[in-house]
């Protein structure tokens, strides 16, 4: 199953679901128009509450990753470059600032961090066949 979660993780369940969907889109496993499980079906499959899945899907909708349609279900939508992209870049810059700051205090060089970036790009884009 593509959408799995770790109930013991300190990362909120709804964020784990959200991240799995984004990863699916990034790797090509999920494409424009692909249906996601219904909120009730995924909740039952994961052993969590309906509202937890609904929260994940609602976040994804706000971010432009899915389209929810009552009585029809939820499908994947690949976002185009737009205002959401700028929001992402701002958040990424803030997160990277924290990472780089601590890296410097621990004598971790920039090659080690840029290496992580290249590694994950390769892993995910490699799956896009």
Partner DNA sequence: TATTTGTTATAGTATATATATAACAAATAA
Partner DNA sequence: TTATTTGTTATATATATACTATAACAAATA
User: Within the chain, what is the greatest distance between any pair of CA atoms?
Assistant: 55
Q: Are 79 and 40 in contact (CB under 8 A)?
A: no
Task: Give the residue, chosen from 7, 26, 39, 44, that forms a contact with a copy of itself under the rule CB under 8 A.
Answer: 26
Least spacing, CB of residue 37 vs a copy of itself, in Å: 20
Query: Within a 10 A sphere around the Cβ of 93, how many other Cβ atoms?
Result: 9
SS (H, E, C) 22-68: HHHHHHCCCCCCCEECCHHHHHHHHCCCHHHHHHHHHHHHHHCCEEE
Residue 84 near a copy of itself by CB under 8 A:
yes
Q: Are 67 and 24 in contact (CB under 8 A)?
A: no
Q: Which residues bind DNA (CB under 7 A)?
A: 7, 12-15, 38-41, 47-52, 54-55, 57-58, 68-74
Interface with a copy of itself: number of residues (CB under 8 A): 40
Residue 62 near a copy of itself by CB under 8 A:
no
Q: Per CB under 8 A, which region of 38-46, 49-57, 66-74, 93-101 contacts a copy of itself?
A: 93-101
Which residues of this chain interact with a copy of itself, rule CB under 8 A?
Answer: 19, 22-23, 25-26, 65, 78-79, 81, 84-85, 88-89, 92-93, 95-108, 110, 112-114, 116-118, 120-121, 124-125
């Amino acid at each position: 199953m593509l959408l799995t979660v770790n109930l013991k993780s300190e990362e909120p369940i709804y964020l784990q679901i959200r991240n799995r969907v984004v990863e699916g889109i990034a790797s090509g496993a999920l494409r424009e128009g692909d249906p996601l499980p219904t909120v009730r079906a995924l909740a039952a499959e994961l052993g969590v509450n309906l509202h937890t899945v609904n929260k994940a899907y609602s976040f994804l909708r706000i971010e432009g990753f899915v389209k929810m349609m009552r009585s029809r279900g939820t499908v994947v939508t690949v976002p185009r470059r737009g205002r959401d992209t700028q929001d992402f870049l701002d958040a990424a810059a803030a997160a990277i600032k924290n990472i780089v700051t601590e890296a410097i205090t621990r004598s971790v060089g920039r090659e080690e961090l840029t290496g992580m970036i290249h590694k994950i790009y390769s892993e995910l884009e490699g799956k896009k066949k």
